[in-house]
């Protein structure tokens, strides 16, 4: 079955079109646009009109791509910023009515479970291996037995602590302390990192974004520290020009790198494995189990959003 998954992240809106057969997910197409849906949510607890407009424009493009590629089921996931916004559920109702996508608002634990399901696939992963998923609004840590969602992601950490351009040393220290305090008291033996912050740090080390080289790449703690020092020393206008860094991710990449460094330092890990498989792949398996779409009434709130 061909399915589509849309991830309404705090910083980016992502699309995966995939064929799902016998529990295997084969990518057909994958896209990502930085939309900053969670801009201002931490302070105002509301999805802002300009951010919503950016997402709507991208969803229109994604719907055309899904129709062109013949996706039979489409599942749209909402995570941290939509969970925290007072108008989040109304926005999801609008998406169901306007675009015909099935929507699902994930708890932090559900997000973690789908991420691990996507990362693991058919491979063997040790019980003490932790999957690190850094989003814009939250960061998920997942092992075979435990799942923790901390209320700090690249966007939220930036908005709370990194106000100077480039960030001041005391701001970086405050951000690092906030992350360190939030991390659980675990003892992992190895780690797998997913999502944009981790893949971007790998791309910066490699000098380009190449998905085939990045998937499975071992990103060392020394490399993370080196890239953090480099990124934090540059003003935003210069960070935007770095090879391997999406210019729209440049405003929050320093905070993301702080999270990775603190994670590795806290657990005494020398490296993490980078994975291009993540929440989208776990959600593709869920999308294949959806019932056939039915025409019906507008969901509650569809006409009252935002």
Domains and CATH numbers, the chain: 2-108+281-287 (3.30.420.40), 122-276 (3.30.420.150)
What pLDDT digit, counting tens, does each position of 182-203 carry? 999 999 999 999 988 999 999 9
Residues 6+ positions from 251 with CB-CB distance below 8 Å: 158, 236
Give the three-state DSSP class for 7.
strand
Residues 6+ positions from 8 with CB-CB distance below 8 Å: 37, 55, 76, 77, 78, 79, 81, 82
Using an 8 Å Cβ cutoff, are 270 and 260 in contact? no
What integer pLDDT is reported at residue 6 of this predicted model? 97
The secondary structure of 222-250, three-state, reads HHHHHHHHHHHCCCHHHHCCCCCCCHHHH
Task: Estimate the crossing angle of helix 196-206 against helix 250-267, to 10 degrees.
Answer: 90
What integer pLDDT is reported at residue 236 of this predicted model? 97
What pLDDT digit, counting tens, does each position of 66-124 carry? 999 999 999 999 988 898 899 999 999 999 999 989 999 998 778 888 888 888 876 77
Q: How far from chain centre, in Å, is Cα 138?
A: 9
Question: What is the full DSSP assignment across 33-54?
Answer: EE--TTTTHHHHSS--HHHHHH
Using an 8 Å Cβ cutoff, are 20 and 284 in contact? yes
Lowest mean pLDDT among 24-28, 221-225, 264-268: 24-28
Radius of gyration of the chain (CA): 19
Q: Which residues is 27 bridged to in the sheet?
A: 18
Q: How far from chain centre, in Å, is Cα 70?
A: 25
Give the H or E element holding residue 272. Answer: strand 271-274
Lowest mean pLDDT among 17-26, 55-64, 169-178, 249-258: 17-26
CA 237/CA 280 separation, integer angstroms: 31
């Amino acid at each position: 079955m061909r399915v589509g998954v849309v991830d309404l992240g705090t910083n980016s809106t992502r699309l995966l079109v995939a064929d799902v057969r016998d529990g295997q997910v084969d990518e057909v197409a994958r896209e990502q646009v930085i939309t900053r849906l969670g801009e201002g949510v931490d302070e105002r607890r509301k999805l802002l009109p300009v951010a919503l407009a950016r997402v709507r424009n991208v969803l229109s493009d994604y719907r055309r791509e899904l129709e062109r590629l013949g996706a039979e089921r489409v599942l749209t996931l909402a995570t941290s910023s939509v969970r925290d916004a007072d108008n989040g559920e109304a926005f999801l109702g609008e998406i169901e009515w306007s675009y015909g996508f099935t929507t699902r608002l994930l708890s932090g634990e559900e997000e973690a479970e789908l991420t691990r399901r996507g990362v693991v696939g058919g491979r063997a992963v040790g019980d003490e291996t932790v999957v690190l998923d850094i989003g814009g609004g939250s960061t998920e840590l997942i092992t075979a037995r435990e799942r923790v969602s901390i209320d700090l992601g690249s966007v939220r950490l930036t908005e709370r602590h990194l106000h100077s351009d480039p960030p001041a040393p005391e701001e970086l220290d405050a951000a690092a302390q906030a992350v360190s305090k939030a991390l659980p008291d675990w003892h992992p033996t190895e780690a797998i990192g997913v999502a944009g912050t981790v893949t971007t740090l790998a791309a910066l080390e490699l000098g380009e974004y190449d998905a085939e080289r990045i998937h499975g790449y071992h990103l060392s703690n020394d490399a993370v520290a080196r890239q953090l020092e480099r990124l934090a020393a540059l003003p935003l206008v210069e960070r935007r020009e770095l090879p391997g860094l999406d210019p729209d991710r440049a405003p929050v990449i320093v905070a993301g790198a702080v999270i990775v460094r603190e994670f590795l330092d806290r657990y005494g890990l020398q490296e993490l494995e980078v994975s291009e498989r993540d929440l989208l792949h776990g959600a593709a398996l869920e999308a294949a189990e959806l019932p056939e779409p039915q025409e019906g009434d507008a969901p509650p709130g569809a006409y009252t959003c935002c």
